[in-house]
A and B are shown apart, each in its own frame.
Chain A
Amino acid sequence: MVVNSLAFLWFFLFVMVVYYLCQTKKEVQNVFLLGCSYWFYSQVDIKMTGLLVILTLVFWLLGKGIYHYMEQEDGRKASWLTTVGVTIGIGALFYFKYLNFFADSVASFASFLGFHMSWTALHLVVPIGLSFFTFKLMSYVLDIHHGKIQPEGNIVSFANYIAFFPTILSGPIDRPKPFLAQANVARLFNPDQLMIGFRRVLWGMFLKMCIADRLDIYVSAIWNNYEHHSAISILFASLLYPLQMYADFGGYSEMAIGVALMLGFKVAENFKRPFFVLDIAGYWSRWHMTLTSWLTDYVFLPLNIKFREWGVYGTITAIMLNMMFIGMWHGANWTFFLFGIYHGLWYIPLMVGGGFFKKRKIKVNAHGWPKQEYVIKMIGIYLVVTFGLMLFHSANISEFWQICERVATHWQGGLFTDMSSMVNAAICLVALIYVDIQEEWFPKYQLPLPRMINRWRWELTVAIEIVAILLFGVFDNNQFIYFQF
């Protein structure tokens, strides 16, 4: 069931009505929410719902065990249980996502060295959302072990944190503390919150259906047949791809946050205008923010502490490993590994130049617009990201090289155009850029409207958004790109 489908709309309307009918009894509300979350997940991946339930139960018990030993000041056993938890989380990820890949790679490497080794690939179906919910499970036991939270006494609240249906498929990867605090109080019907949530869902739908899916028609047409297209077409499609990804994943995140808000939960933000930055560190602090902050807290910082004796080289090592994890988190493919390394390499000038720990701000001119030199830097970062995503999008390294080769050699032939998709997407992109610029540099600005109309500004905006989705949207329920991760 896709979030922007009619089926989800009916499902969500039913959930909302019953959910707020039992708002005075938080236990009933939580049990109902959990039932809905499991039902939702079972509609997407029925076979793996059992795995989700078992992992939830195991981690809940582990959390209790870790805390028990910490209270008894038996740090060794607490650490051991935490290690068990992390191993189970990583083990599940490894088994479902990476086993075939690693076994295959080892076998290939062995044959390269002249040894005979064969591996029959296991037919494993990766549970949808696995990378998201295992990270939640691991952060729960790690936070208990670090003394940041106490274990959740109520299994239903904990299970809701893991299986919360708006976020289970593609995040945001919420942290246990803020979520559980909200799960343990009744969520009362709040019309204002409902309206804010609804607006975010609409905006997410606009991003996904009107921009991401429209751009996808063009980008896929080029990338899926790159051997028949000119360098200009491939480069143009590549330049559009970061925008497609932003609208796709950013759109999903907006919808997830909006739906959660309508149910009374504030979940973490995932995107913050990621292309309005001056360096790669700025980009990752605004792109898939919950993944970046998760890896920063649980991978980069511990590694940085471990390597601190090496000085700047220790930080570089920690960053490179962290970026490798970010890359490989997306899937079992050498392209993702190289994608991580590529991004890691862009951090080195920052480390060496001492700019890594400085938050670089874009300076504006007297009119509030960013200065020219900063605009050029932003364009530069966009190009850096574009090249990384060419690697990310390629099916394998050989395909990536073939694309690069084609770009280098096939300059004859013009730009492939699909006017309908491009014009539709361009109109909607103007809206996205307008909104992002306004939020970034002119947050207080409001389009001047006559007083009579201004009174109904909110309602008018919602109605325009609905009409725009109907007019420009793609309605064939395309999957979200990040569902595969």
Chain B
Amino acid sequence: MKKLFIHIIIIACLFFVMDRVLGLGLGYLYSISNATDEYKISYTNESTEDSLLFMGSSRCLHHYAPLVFEKELGISCFNAADWGIKNIYFHYGTLGNILSRYTPKAIVFEVHPCDFQETPYSGKERAGSLAPYCGMSKECDEMLKRSGNYWPYQLSWVYRYTGNLPNLLAGKMGNMDRNLKGWKPLDGVLDTVGIKVEEYPFPIDQERIDLLERFINDCKQKNIQLSLIVSPMYICSKEDVYKVPRELAAKYDVPFIDHYKDTTFTGHPELFYDFGHLNRQGALIYSKIVCEELKMHIKR
């Protein structure tokens, strides 16, 4: 029995040392990576101190060109969005981490139905992308707890990067251009054959709405000028998809900028890469339009 305990203790010690050392190494590789996910998440959580942040999922990542905003608004700007149908669980955890470091002047948050609906393809597990930042802020930890992996992430630092070793080793070869300040333009033109409207027939998720409200409240408490925004789609639903965020914006007296059915873009395949994402040209035009609108909402 004594022998067994000695074995267990030695294994535990060896595991602890290996896990922490390897975890630190992987964390370093994560921070210097130029791959989209790693760069966007690490820069947003660890480095950015820009005045204006764009947050949201892939539509935000591809649609807002920070250089346009910097030039027009005269404030530093970073597009902190990430792809992969990230939702409010991820965004709220990210906001917590950002606020634990500094307070931006303004945040433009691109809302998506997965931020207030029970979308089956995007749930609490999306917060798992914040695993490397477990322990950074109480909001981040809360989201990781909701995703069900907080304690495993605390126990093992290596587990935070599970399956990511090849990406991290090749991270420096990633194609994110750091000069674009987080924007990832898409080059190409939409092929309209077989395009159908994307509907969101999912039930409203009160838990996600609560988080959305907390997101708004936290920004208000820190005097961050928050704007909720919806960017254009090539083809739109006839339903009132964004009723929930519009009502929330009204309730909290936050600007709600709705371009969902903006005819400058909707129905113009030359400005889109696919049915939900503007291409480079579309994004630059759209950024200029939004810039003008933000001038009215953001006090510099």
Within 8 A of A (CB), among B1-20: 1, 3-4, 7, 10-11, 14-15, 18-19
CB of B14 within 8 A of CB of A456, answer yes
A466 is an interface residue with CB less than 8 A from chain B:
yes
Q: Pick from A419, A462, A464, A470: contact of B166, CB below 8 A.
A: A419
Interface of A is mostly: helix
- Which residue on B lies nearest to A475, using beta carbons? B162
CA gap between A194 and B11 in the complex, in Å: 15
Contact with B along A213-242 (1 / 0, CB 8 A): 010000000000000000000000000000
Distance from A200 Cβ to chain B, minimum over Cβ atoms (Å): 15
Within 8 A of B (CB), among A192-208: 194-195
CB of B15 within 8 A of CB of A471, answer no
CB of B4 within 8 A of CB of A466, answer no
CB of A473 within 8 A of CB of B14, answer no
CA gap between A353 and B4 in the complex, in Å: 54
B158 is an interface residue with CB less than 8 A from chain A:
yes
Within 8 Å CB of A470, what residues of B? 19, 156, 158-159, 162
> By CB atoms of chain B within 10 A, which of A191, A423, A470, A472 has the most?
A470
CB of B166 within 8 A of CB of A467, answer no
Distance from A215 Cβ to chain B, minimum over Cβ atoms (Å): 13
CA gap between A104 and B167 in the complex, in Å: 49
Tally the A-B contacts, defined by beta carbons under 8 Å: 61
Contact with B along A419-430 (1 / 0, CB 8 A): 110011001000
CA gap between A383 and B71 in the complex, in Å: 62
- Which residue on B lies nearest to A464, using beta carbons? B18
Within 8 Å CB of A474, what residues of B? 163
CB of A472 within 8 A of CB of B165, answer yes
CB of A463 within 8 A of CB of B163, answer no
CB of B165 within 8 A of CB of A471, answer yes
CB of A467 within 8 A of CB of B165, answer no
A460 is an interface residue with CB less than 8 A from chain B:
yes
A310 is an interface residue with CB less than 8 A from chain B:
no
CB of A463 within 8 A of CB of B15, answer yes
B180 is an interface residue with CB less than 8 A from chain A:
no
B242 is an interface residue with CB less than 8 A from chain A:
no
Within 8 A of B (CB), among A243-274: none
Within 8 Å CB of A427, what residues of B? 165
CA gap between A470 and B160 in the complex, in Å: 9
A459 is an interface residue with CB less than 8 A from chain B:
yes
- Which residue on A lies nearest to B165, using beta carbons? A471
Within 8 Å CB of B159, what residues of A? 470-471
CA gap between A451 and B88 in the complex, in Å: 53
B22 is an interface residue with CB less than 8 A from chain A:
yes
CB of A420 within 8 A of CB of B167, answer yes
CA gap between A137 and B161 in the complex, in Å: 46
CB of A471 within 8 A of CB of B7, answer no
Interface size bracket, A side: 20 to 34
Distance from A144 Cβ to chain B, minimum over Cβ atoms (Å): 40
Given A195-B4, A459-B7; A424-B163 close (CB under 8 Å): yes
Q: Pick from B7, B15, B166: contact of A195, CB below 8 A.
A: B7
CA gap between A462 and B9 in the complex, in Å: 12
CB of A471 within 8 A of CB of B11, answer no
Within 8 Å CB of B161, what residues of A? 471
Within 8 Å CB of A459, what residues of B? 7, 10-11, 14
- Which residue on B lies nearest to A210, using beta carbons? B163
Within 8 Å CB of B4, what residues of A? 191, 194-195
A458 is an interface residue with CB less than 8 A from chain B:
yes
Within 8 Å CB of B22, what residues of A? 467, 471
- Which residue on A lies nearest to B26, using beta carbons? A471
CA gap between A466 and B14 in the complex, in Å: 10
CA gap between A194 and B4 in the complex, in Å: 9
CB of B3 within 8 A of CB of A472, answer no
Within 8 Å CB of A464, what residues of B? 18
CB of B162 within 8 A of CB of A473, answer yes
- Which residue on B lies nearest to A195, using beta carbons? B7
CA gap between A424 and B7 in the complex, in Å: 29
- Which residue on B lies nearest to A214, using beta carbons? B163
Within 8 Å CB of A473, what residues of B? 162-163
CA gap between A419 and B14 in the complex, in Å: 31
Contact with B along A308-350 (1 / 0, CB 8 A): 0000000000000000000000000000000000000000000
CA gap between A466 and B22 in the complex, in Å: 13
Distance from B48 Cβ to chain A, minimum over Cβ atoms (Å): 26
Q: Pick from B3, B7, B10, B19: contact of A467, CB below 8 A.
A: B19
CA gap between A474 and B164 in the complex, in Å: 11
- Since A420-B167, A470-B162 are in contact, a sample of 6 more A-B pairs with Cβ atoms closer than 8 Å, ordered by chain A residue number, is A191-B4, A419-B166, A420-B163, A420-B166, A470-B158, A471-B158
Q: Which residues of A contact B (CB under 8 A)?
A: 189, 191, 194-195, 214, 419-420, 423-424, 427, 456, 458-460, 462-464, 466-467, 470-475
